[in-house]
Amino acid sequence: MSRGELDSGLCKWLNQTVSGIDRPWLIRRSDLNSMDEKRHEIRIKTDLGEEEARTEILKGMARAKWLTSGLSPEPERSDNILTGALYRYWQQRWFVRHFGSVGVDANSVFPLTEEQQQTLKMPTSEPYLQEIDQRISAWDANAVQWWPAFWQQTSNLPNPRVDDCINKAPAMGGDNTPETYNPEVLGKWAPALDQRTNYESLPVPTSMDYIVFNSSRHSSRMYRWWARDIFVSAKGDVKEIVLNNRHIQEVEALLPVRLPGRDQAVALASDQTLGTVEMLSKNGRYALPSLTPDDYIVALRIEPDLPFTLVRDQYTGLHTLTVPETKADQSLRVTYVVEPRATGNKTPAKRTRPTLLDTYCSEGMKKVLHELFQNIGEQPSELKVSLQKIQNAKNAKQQIKAITEYCEQFSGKAKPRRKKNFFKFLVTKRQGSCRHRVPVFIAFCRYFGIPCRQIDNRVHCFAEYSLDGGQTWKSADLGGADAEIIEITSHFQPIRRVNVFSTESRKIKALLKDFLKRADSAQQQILAKACGMSLAELNKALETNSALPETNLRISEIVRNLWEEKDLTRFSMGVALLESLETQAFGYNEKQLVGDGGYNPMSEAVKHILSNSDKDQVTEQLKLLHSKMFVQWGAYPLLWLGSMEKILNGSDLARPSFLRFALEALKSGWLDPVPNYYEDITGAFQHHQLLLHLERIDELKIEAAHCLKKCYWEFLSREKNSQAWRLAYKNFRQRKGDVFFVTHCHDGFSRSLESKIASSSLQAAWTDEPEGVPNIERMLLHHPAFQRLISGKASHRPVIIMGQPSWCDTMINEKVEALFLLKVESRPNLKQILEKINQRESARKQICDALKKSETQNYRANFIKSVPPEERLPLHNEIDECNRAILQAFSHYLYGMTHSNGGCLTYCWADASNEEFMLTNKYGAHDPSSPEELYAMMSTIDDSPGFQEAVKDAYLREALNASDALVLKSHELTTIAEEFLSSVNLKSIFDSLDT
């Protein structure tokens, strides 16, 4: 079948086979597989056979159906392997139930990784599978809205092996079977902590510190090798229970990729670290160190090369390597790569009960600490202050800080007496090295319900605590005894850093591998070129050590390279790649592809494609991209609007391809206004100008007009933006104080305004005077039967103001001068000043001429120029008062006239600036409530003359719901102001000021 052709056979098969379809789906052949849920259309590659096509269709249908529930088709990144495996297990059970009769393998739709498959097979996972099977059997899959809640409950299954710190589950066979864990029992047999706390009187020990990790980002003292539980007996003995192989919670099976030989360089992602360790084992089990509780080993090589299994304990985060073929005390050299996984729900078990392992406070701990806090007033002063900090902490974070400070004050001067409570000695005397401090820290934390445990390595031990119930862990280094450390550095394998995070690298590789499978040979070559390599090199990079990044492949860069070729095939491939990304994978780099104010590869490509064809072949691709980036991902819509403007501005809209594209863009809402504009991307003025341009084209007139009306509603409606002015007006009044002192208009008026604002309504009246065609019914009833229109009661039209008068084009300066001279004549002090600087008539004439020709601001400058500095301020204040008095009188007139006879006034601003009083919205409308508020608006809001003149009055009236409104812009207001100035009574203003 050719591209775009409807496949009727597949349409019939799908709509008859799959149940629960609310409306038919259309299936067309295309270059790539895609699904448009809004249009109910599926596109399948033309080269796929019928069975392959059916499989791809069902994959898309199943994943789309899953998405409608609000859940991701992929497990969360923060999920551990078991949680991810259970999620996939649930998805597969659902698929079999919903699509079971179609003959498609559920694992091909929701695939389990090898690690997930191995983890589900482990005995430790069996209780979870049994429980989830029961829940799924009772689950109502039709209640889609409850799916997230179902998964939340299922993923928080209680741990079947930890209940009040005692394992009551029956033992199961296998090397990784959890043992019964009861600290009360195990503590009796565990070795007791030594009592050599007086290290300051002992020789400084020498320790061999083998540098395990090739990293400068982590302290060589703070790596993790063993985890221990701390138990304090009733007598005060401190017991350490090693947890590495007890598997208190579930165990994950790991399948790390094989590292190349030790002389070959290995590529590592930004967050990956190489480790090397040599060690012996008596039973074929080797504990492998890590750096953080969230680390996973993703690549490994052992020497000699022997079969092995690798598991990770979910509770401790530690790894155990099992090599069955090793002999007793055989040494192994292990080279491996660790990387941290995103933290989240660490285990399916939601660890909230205070009796869990890491919050279990033994009776020996409780007794000592309870007595200590009960008798806190009897303690020595330095101990008392520290204990009060712990007891009075407002939250767990403050308690951790106080406990840390308490334990850091240990010294090594004394040791306990024989047969005395050793734990009480540690707590009250604060003596000992790191191994003595950590149990005290753990006891305090557990006493206050904070999960805590001990972590050891060859040279140091420290504590790990959790502030979120065991979901995430932080380390606390409490210091310790001095020691002579001899660092022994391993011969690390050479590494090569790749600037990409490990999780991102794996996802990109998986995406590209899947894309290559679905692409034809030509598309494969195109993709390889966009990746900057040959097809053979790309295949090698994707297959080699998938956990390690061979090259810095980024989807954003690949898409950019494709789009810069500016042809439809490559543009479509770029869209398909972005569509394949998970929503959470979209970031800043992907956003820049659409537009961020500078170079815009998407708009450049679209413009070029449209220019080279009379057909619009790109809009369908843009619809897919818009759905992904702006509907699903929630990208900022201004970016898309900016791209549309770049495509259409300067384009030849007489060309059919551009004309059809513009029409589709308008219909799709791509040119609709957005709540906020940023000039570095696009401004409202540019947007408005483009829409005006489109409206002048006959084929686009209706849609462009509709879009313009949306803009006016967004920019200039009272409901949207009135609040912004209220805040600015509040700031104005707080900063300016009571600046409004004129109480009326002082006889000023404007004939042009009063003639335009008047609106007389015409009413129908009946008369006996013959005129026109009579009303027969009224004639038969002997009523007046001839209709005549007569003038009704006069009223005032609503008024919309946009802009301010151009005062420099009026006689304002002459009026200010005249009012000022009236003041001079009545005030001897002002008259004296003028006489000093106008001793000669020629000088006075020169100043008066300057006053008549200059603007108000220039007038002040010229007038005051000759005045001595000490006398300038009173002159300046008087002139300013005259100017404000006239403007306030004008505000009184304008407000009073527009509110008489049932009228009203709305003040609009567009592309305005008002930084002084923090007018946050550059566009808006507000009905001033007084002449004072109108004066504040006209004197502080400075908007764009170009924008206001371009505004269409009819659409503005519609946005403000005032169809008969009189719209006054800057030039009309200037005429009104000039007429007002010609008639205003300056003597009346002077009298009001003089009083």
Q: What is the mean pLDDT of residues 422-450?
A: 96
Q: What is the mean pLDDT of residues 75-80?
A: 75
Hey, how many other C-beta atoms are within 10 angstroms of the C-beta on 251?
Answer: 26
- In the block, residue with structure tokens 């009360």: 184
User: Which residue would you say has higher pLDDT here, 48 or 807?
Assistant: 807
- Asked if residue 547 has pLDDT above 50, the reply is yes
Angle, nearest 10°, between helix axes 812-826 and 828-837? 110
Confidence of residue 73 (pLDDT cuts 50, 70, 90): confident
pLDDT number for residue 346? 44
pLDDT tens digit sequence for 695-717: 999 999 999 999 999 998 888 87
Confidence of residue 667 (pLDDT cuts 50, 70, 90): very high
Confidence of residue 872 (pLDDT cuts 50, 70, 90): low
pLDDT tens digit sequence for 723-772: 778 887 888 887 776 678 889 999 999 999 999 998 755 456 678 888 77
Give the Å distances, CA to CA, from 10 to 105, 144, 154, 909.
19, 27, 37, 57
pLDDT number for residue 981? 95
Confidence of residue 597 (pLDDT cuts 50, 70, 90): low
pLDDT number for residue 720? 65
What percent of the chain has a predicted confidence (pLDDT) above 70?
Answer: 86
- Asked if residue 840 has pLDDT above 50, the reply is no
Give the Å distances, CA to CA, from 953 to 673, 715, 756, 803, 976.
18, 14, 15, 14, 19
pLDDT tens digit sequence for 98-123: 887 677 888 888 889 888 888 888 87
Q: What is the mean pLDDT of residues 318-342?
A: 90
Confidence of residue 345 (pLDDT cuts 50, 70, 90): very low
Confidence of residue 680 (pLDDT cuts 50, 70, 90): low
pLDDT tens digit sequence for 509-524: 888 888 888 788 899 9
pLDDT number for residue 309? 92
* DSSP code of residue 669: T
Q: What is the mean pLDDT of residues 15-40?
A: 77
pLDDT tens digit sequence for 248-306: 777 889 989 899 998 999 989 889 999 999 989 888 899 999 999 999 999 999 999 99
pLDDT number for residue 823? 84
Coarse DSSP helix, strand, coil percentages of the chain, rounded to the nearest 5 percent: 45, 15, 35
Give the number of C-alpha atoms closer than 13 A to the C-alpha of residue 159, restricted to the C-beta side: 25
Model's pTM, two decimal places? 0.65
Confidence of residue 435 (pLDDT cuts 50, 70, 90): very high
pLDDT number for residue 674? 85
SS3 760: strand
Three-state SS letters, 470-485: CCCCEEECCCCCCCEE
Angstrom distance (rounded) from CA 176 to CA 199: 40
Angstrom distance (rounded) from CA 532 to CA 540: 13
SS3 30: strand
**Tokens, residue 858:** 């220039």
- In degrees and rounded to multiples of 5, residue 924 shows phi and psi of 175, 180
Give the Å distances, CA to CA, from 406 to 412, 451, 508.
15, 18, 48
b/e string for 579-596 if b means 16 or more Cβ within 10 A?
bbbeeebbeeebbbbbbb
Of 76-85, 443-452, 602-611, least confident by mean pLDDT is 76-85
User: Which residue would you say has higher pLDDT here, 551 or 929?
Assistant: 929
Instruction: Give the residue from 556, 551, 554 showing the smallest Cα distance to 534.
Output: 551
pLDDT number for residue 19? 72
Evaluate the CA torsion angle 685, 691, 696, 702 in order and state its sign.
negative
pLDDT tens digit sequence for 204-256: 988 888 899 998 888 888 999 999 999 999 999 999 999 887 777 778 899 89
pLDDT number for residue 510? 82
pLDDT tens digit sequence for 910-961: 877 765 555 567 788 899 999 999 998 888 888 778 888 889 999 999 988 8
pLDDT number for residue 461? 95
Chain-centre distance of CA 231, in angstroms?
45
- In degrees and rounded to multiples of 5, residue 31 shows phi and psi of -75, -30
- In the block, residue with structure tokens 């029956």: 170
Instruction: Indicate the average pLDDT of the chain.
Output: 83
Q: What is the mean pLDDT of residues 484-506?
A: 84
pLDDT tens digit sequence for 648-663: 998 999 999 999 999 9
Confidence of residue 904 (pLDDT cuts 50, 70, 90): very high
Using only C-alpha atoms, the chain has a radius of gyration, in whole angstroms, of 41
Q: What is the mean pLDDT of residues 666-670?
A: 93
pLDDT number for residue 161? 47
What percent of the chain has a predicted confidence (pLDDT) above 90?
Answer: 39
Confidence of residue 498 (pLDDT cuts 50, 70, 90): confident
Angstrom distance (rounded) from CA 86 to CA 126: 11
Confidence of residue 668 (pLDDT cuts 50, 70, 90): very high
